[in-house]
Structure 1
């Protein structure tokens, strides 16, 4: 009986000890699993950091290469700028003479332009004076010869005669005259047409006697009218 009691106590002690050992072992296993998970996480983080570092290294190497190329380019550009500066300094030494030559040529061209403008103004003034004289004679011609001046185009005067046709005093006989830049005349139109006007025009350009030309022209128009027989 006593032996049985002792055996039961031993079994209980053994079970208790086994439970403690199993608990301790499970604790160690759990701790080991946790350490393993932490290790795996650390390894994963380290791998990511390694990849990041490698990428950063490649990026830095590329930046260093680009910097080297930029420095090389800037160095070449600096040499070009220095060369251009030297050329500009050499050109600046020659500028005073070139400026003097340009100013001399400009003064010469300005003087020639002023001379041409003055000559043109003199011609224009002379031509305007001739046209003004023609217009001043308008009233006299209109009163005595039945003549009107009408300006249709630039520098063109139309000489319009009336009181030529006895059957129609208001019938118009017209001649167009153009004054050229060299102060000569030309005929632009004639209605009705007259033959043999070239000699009259040549005499006008030679003598510049416009009044005589007008009187001759009126006579020529009168000769066109067929008067009834008496």
Structure 2
């Protein structure tokens, strides 16, 4: 019975290690996708503004064409060019919308994956992030293990509110500030929480 428990604990530990790597890779991917979605949304807004401006210009050209018969041919050419430009802009807007929808869908999938794997991120304000782990304690899978990370104006990481308390957090935080390897730090915190449960 004890041997089965040890084997199960080892398998659980290995699964947690693999989970940690996957979760951190997904966290980076989610951050990249969020940034991309914001850029795409800004591009879509600009494209929509341009479409509106081109449509306004097209409307004015049509009025001038009707009011000034002597300039009909020149205005007709300009109108065709403006319509062609509007079509291009509309196609670009449609493409940007599709990209934004895809990015949001992927981000939503990533967040759902984190939740399933027991890692959750909460922004608590500018430059403050709370990380919550579950699925660590086999006896209580929903038990939360949390800590917050603040980035100061000097780009220094500060770790607070570690629950349950973990020994050596100050040293780990110093190493984080030296290496700037946030994903390694998160994996290490998870290992420390797992070690607490194993004791």
The TM tier, using the shorter chain, reads: 0.3 to 0.5
Q: Which has the larger radius of gyration?
A: 1
TM-score of the two chains, using structure 1 as the length reference: 0.37
Structure with more relative contact order (C-alpha pairs < 8 Å, separation 6 or more): 2
TM-score of the two chains, using structure 2 as the length reference: 0.43
